[in-house]
Amino acid sequence: MVAQLRLALAQINPTVGDIDGNSAQVLRWSRHAAEQGAHVIAFPEMALTGYPVEDLALRRSFQDASRAAVTAVAAQLEADGLGDRLVVVGHLDGAPDAVPVLGKPAGAPQNAAAFLYGGEVVGRYAKHHLPNYGVFDEFRYFVPGSSLTVARVHAVDVAVVICEDIWREGGPVAAAREAGAGLLIVINGSPYERNKDDARLDLVRRRAADAGSTLAYVNMVGGQDELVFDGDSIVVGTDGEVIARAPQFEEGLLVIDLHLPDAPGDTDEGSVDSDVPAPDMSSITIRRIALDDQPLPLYPPLTAGIAPRIEDEAEVYAALVTGLRDYVQKNGFTSVVLGLSGGIDSALTAAVAVDALGSEHVHGVSMPSSYSSEHSRSDAAELADRTGLQFRVVPIAPMVDAFHGSLELTGLAEENLQARVRGTTLMALSNQHGHLVLATGNKSELAVGYSTLYGDSVGGYAPLKDVPKTLVWRLSRWRNKDAEARGETPPIPDASISKPPSAELRPGQLDSDSLPDYEVLDEILDHYVEMDRGSGELVAAGFDQQLVERVLKMIDTAEYKRRQYPPGPKISFKAFGRDRRQPITNKWREHQSPPTQLPAG
C-alpha cells in the first residue's frame, strides 16, 4: 500500500545565538508551510541556535535557553492551530543533571532534532556521527546519540538523522532501513565549498538506496563568520531519481507531495515503544513514536520543481555576496568602506559589496601616493561611476612625507609605509562613521605573505580571502558578462581586468617582480595548500625545484601574517584559518630531506 504525505523543507537563514529570532523564523515558516498544506515540516540542523555555536555549546545557560525554546515553539505551534503537523527542528540539547566527566563536554550537550506535535516535544534524536575534520570540531562540543527515533505520521514511518550521519557508512542510515522507514529526513548545516553540490547529490542518492527509502535533505542558507551555507535542499527517491531540488543561496520552502509506503502493523496513537536494538547495530537503538496511524484521503498532489544548477563562477560569486551581506548585517553594521586602487582585487571586492549591500552603503576611497599612476586613479573613479558607490579621494603623499620627515625610511620600509598610511586612513574613517573596513587581498597574496601588516591587511572582513588570484580575474569577467546579459552596465572597468597587477609602491613596480606568474603560483598553491603535497611531489609533478622551494618557503614563513588577517568566506576545500592550521613557530621546511638514519647513542 502507498500513502500520501506533503513535505515542506524550510531552507532558512538562522543567526547564531539569536534563539528568540530563530524561534520566530521557525514559527513563521511553519505557518507558511501549513498554508500550503504541509503535513511534515523540517528545519535545518541547529536551526533554533544557529550553527556552528562553537563554545556556546558548553555554556549551561545557552543549553537551557535552547531546550526552553523548543518547548515554547511546540506550545506556540499548537496555539496557532498547527499542532496536527509534525515539525522537526534542529536545536542544542543537553543533560541538565549530567555529572561532569573528564574529557566530556560540560553539560553533555547534543546536536539534536526535536519532534514537535500536539503542542509537545514528543521525541528527540541526537546526532550519532560527530565530524572532527576541516571546519568541524564536534568532538569538542557534543556527545553522540545512540538511538534512532522513528515517528509514524499519517501511516508513514518517518526517521530523522543529522548531516554527518549520512556522510559515513552504516550507523543511523542502516538503522533507518532496519526500522522500515518510508521517509528519511536529513537536517543539515552543511557549509558551501566549490563543487560540493555535486558531491551532495551523489551522497544522498547512495544513502537513499542504503536506507531503502525516499530521502529528503534540508540545508540552511546564509553566512556565519567564515562559513557560508548554500541551501541546495534535495529530495530523491530510492532509485536515486531527483524528485525536487531547491535553489542555492535562497531562503524558502521546498514543498512536495510524496507517495510513500505505508507502515505495517498498528500502534496506539501517541504511544512510545520500548527501545529495540537494531540488529547488527549494537550502538543504535530504535525508538518508535506513533502519532497518527491513519493514511490521508487521496488528494491532488503538488509537483515540486528542480531548480537549475548555476555555473561555477556564479556559484562562487553568490557565496561571496552571501557571506559579506550576513557578516555585515548580523553584526550590526550598516555600511562598509574599502580602498580603491584601480586594481582588480579592490574592484571585485567593491562589486561584491555593492551587490550585497546596495551602492548607498558602500564607501570607496582612492588614496593616491606619489607613485600612483594616472590610470589607477581614473580606473578607481570609473569603478565608482559604474557601480554608484559613495566615492572620495584622500591623497596620502603629505601624510607619507610627514612620516618620512621623522623616520627617514628607505627600501621596503618606505614602500610599506604607504600601505600603512592607507590602512590608518580607512580605520580612521571607520571610527568616524561606523563603517566596517573591507580588506581586499586575495588567497594567492595571503598565501605567500604578499601583503603589508597594518596596511592592506587591515579590516573587519576580507571577501576575497579564500579566492585565488586567477579566480579573481575569472569572477570579474563573469560579473561583467552577467551584467551585459541583463542589459546592465558592467561594474568593473576593462582596464582593471587587463592591466598587469601592481601594488604601485615604487616606480614601475609589478607583482611579477616578486612573485611567479599567478597561473603557476596558483597551481603550486593548489597542490601544497589544498592537497597537502610535499615539495618532492610537486617536483615530480613537473614544477621547477628552485621555484617550488622558493614558493613553499614564502608560504611557510607567512603564517604569522595570516593569523592577523580578517575573516573571510570559505569557498575552497581548505581555507586558511578554520581548515588549514599551521604553527607559527615552525622550523620544518618541505625541501628538507629526512636523515637516512638516527645518530648513534
Q: Cite the active site residues.
A: 45, 127, 163
Nearest to 298 by CA among 2, 86, 8: 2
Q: Which residues of 116-128 are buried (b: 16+ CB within 10 A; e: fewer)?
A: bbeebbbbbbbbb
Nearest to 314 by CA among 493, 190, 192: 192
- Give the Cα separation of 328 and 342 in Å (integer): 24
- Give the Cα separation of 287 and 27 in Å (integer): 27
- Give the Cα separation of 358 and 106 in Å (integer): 43
- Give the Cα separation of 601 and 594 in Å (integer): 18
- Give the Cα separation of 86 and 233 in Å (integer): 19
- Give the Cα separation of 425 and 296 in Å (integer): 66
- Give the Cα separation of 229 and 222 in Å (integer): 5
Q: Which residue has the cell 597574496?
A: 445
Asked if residue 352 lies in contact with residue 323, where contact means CB atoms within 8 angstroms, the answer is no
Q: Which residue has the cell 514559527?
A: 27
Asked if residue 436 lies in contact with residue 544, where contact means CB atoms within 8 angstroms, the answer is no
Residues in Cβ contact with 431 at an 8 Å cutoff, skipping those fewer than 6 apart: none
Nearest to 161 by CA among 139, 197, 189, 188: 188
Classified as helix, coil or strand, 222 is strand
Classified as helix, coil or strand, 129 is coil
Residue 236 has φ and ψ, to the nearest 5°, of -130, 150
Classified as helix, coil or strand, 437 is strand
Dihedral over alpha carbons 385, 386, 389, 394 (to 10 degrees): -40
Residues β-bridged to residue 317: none
For residue 419, the tally of other CB atoms under 10 A from its CB is: 23
- Give the Cα separation of 453 and 466 in Å (integer): 18
**Apex CA 265: angle with CA 264 and CA 269, to 5°?**
115
Q: Which residue has the cell 556552528?
A: 52
- Give the Cα separation of 24 and 581 in Å (integer): 37
First CA to last CA across the chain, in angstroms? 77
Classified as helix, coil or strand, 365 is strand
Q: Which H helix or E strand runs over 175?
A: helix 172-179
What string of DSSP letters covers 514-567?
Answer: TS--HHHHHHHHIIIIIS---HHHHHHTT--HHHHHHHHHHHHHTHHHHHTSPP
- On the CB side of 136, CA atoms within 13 Å amount to 15
Q: Which H helix or E strand runs over 281?
A: strand 281-290
